[in-house]
């Protein structure tokens, strides 16, 4: 097939390499002309994914209309906070409805909307498939095996994307729970920032394991309040993505958290990482949603205080550990037992 990939950063390049290996022809788009020239001439994304060779059946362009006309399948691999602006531009150029496979993980700042909601608000005729799971561009580009989820209420669209991406190194599962898959992919970045802060403070494996476990509990509570399926959070887009993002040095969220835990200011940490730290942008809308929906999310609360109110990370840990005692299970799960 011909496939249009919107975004030529590290993940956009890795996805293009994967798809080209599956025999597809790829037209990548980047707004940055120097990025386009780099990929087309050097056959490498030297700035963001050095060492990964871009095959000849991948061509990059800065002409958005050219990229869109190449295929009826669009793969969105851009920062979450740029999705609305890019989709607005795309909607003025397309001639017929598209199937959009969205790799962007986050919630829109100011609205709290998931990426599929943002896309459909701007392009109601589109069919959106949300993509999520444990996957770093650095490993994907090398063909290191992993598994992912293609989520859509439209079964045929999910299976189409599954077929396009499926390979011996990239196993794809379908899931109708778009809400759960997108929330898992977005909120795990907040928890990963906190895991990095824990590492930066010098805490150990015990601390991080506890943080991750209670983090998935927060994600699940928010998901339940928003109508997601609880099974999704025990799957690839939930605990799977959370594990890899909290434990790997490929994770820019974890790396930013480490720097904050070591004493850098938030601005210094974001600057030093040099790439988009989605957890920073996602923390505020997740915090707002938790308050609006009445969902208890103490780790998210402390992340918000550190990132936006200048709270000392060590004090945040002290306050988390010193909260009133409670049960591990949710109240409704205890009623039939105690």
Q: Which residues pair with 167 in a beta bridge?
A: 170
Asked if the domains at 2-176 and 179-334 fall in one CATH topology, the answer is: no
Q: What integer pLDDT is reported at residue 333 of this predicted model?
A: 75
pTM of the complete model beyond 0.85? yes
Q: How far apart are CA 179 and CA 232, in angstroms?
A: 9
**CATH (residue range 179-334):** 1.10.1040.10
Query: What length does the chain have?
Result: 338
pLDDT of residue 285: 98
CATH topology assigned to domain 2-176: Rossmann fold (3.40.50)
Each residue's pLDDT tens digit, 23-64: 999 999 999 999 999 999 999 999 999 999 999 999 999 999
Catalytic residues: 188
User: 309: Cβ–Cβ under 8 A, 6 or more apart, which residues?
Assistant: none
Domain boundaries, the chain: 2-176, 179-334
Strand partners, 171: 147
Q: Which stretches in the chain have pLDDT values below 70?
A: none
Burial 173-207 (b: 16+ CB within 10 A, else e): bbbebbbbbbbbbbbbbbbbbbbbbbbbbebeeeb
């Amino acid at each position: 097939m011909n496939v249009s990939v919107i975004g030529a950063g590290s993940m956009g390049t890795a996805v293009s390499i994967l798809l080209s290996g599956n025999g597809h022809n790829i037209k990548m788009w980047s707004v940055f002309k120097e990025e386009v020239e780099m990929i087309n001439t050097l056959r490498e994304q030297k700035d963001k994914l050095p060492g990964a060779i871009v095959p000849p059946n991948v061509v990059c362009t800065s002409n958005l209309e050219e990229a869109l006309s190449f295929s009826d399948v669009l793969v969105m691999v851009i920062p979450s906070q740029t999705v609305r602006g890019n989709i607005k531009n795309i909607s003025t150029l397309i001639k017929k409805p598209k199937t959009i496979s969205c790799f962007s993980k986050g919630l829109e700042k100011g609205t709290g909307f998931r990426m599929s909601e943002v896309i459909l608000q701007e392009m109601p005729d589109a069919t959106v498939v949300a993509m999520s799971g444990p996957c770093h561009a650095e490993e994907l580009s090398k063909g290191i095996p992993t598994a992912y989820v293609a989520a859509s209420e439209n079964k045929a669209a999910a299976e189409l994307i599954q077929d396009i991406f499926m390979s011996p190194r990239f196993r794809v599962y379908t899931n109708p729970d778009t809400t759960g898959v997108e929330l898992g992919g977005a909120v795990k970045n907040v928890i990963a920032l906190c895991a990095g802060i824990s590492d930066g403070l010098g805490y150990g494996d015990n601390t991080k394991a506890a943080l991750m476990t209670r983090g998935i509990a927060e994600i699940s509570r928010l998901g339940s309040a928003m109508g997601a399926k609880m099974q999704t959070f025990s799957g690839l887009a939930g605990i799977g993505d959370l594990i890899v993002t909290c434990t790997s040095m490929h994770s820019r969220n974890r790396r930013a958290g480490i720097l904050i835990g070591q004493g850098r200011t938030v601005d210094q940490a974001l600057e030093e990482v040099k790439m988009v730290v989605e957890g920073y942008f996602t923390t505020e809308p997740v915090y707002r949603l938790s308050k609006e929906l009445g969902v208890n999310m103490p780790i998210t609360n402390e992340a918000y205080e550190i990132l936006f109110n200048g709270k000392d990370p060590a004090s945040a840990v002290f306050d988390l550990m010193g909260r009133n005692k409670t049960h591990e299970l949710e109240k409704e799960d205890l009623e039939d037992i105690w």
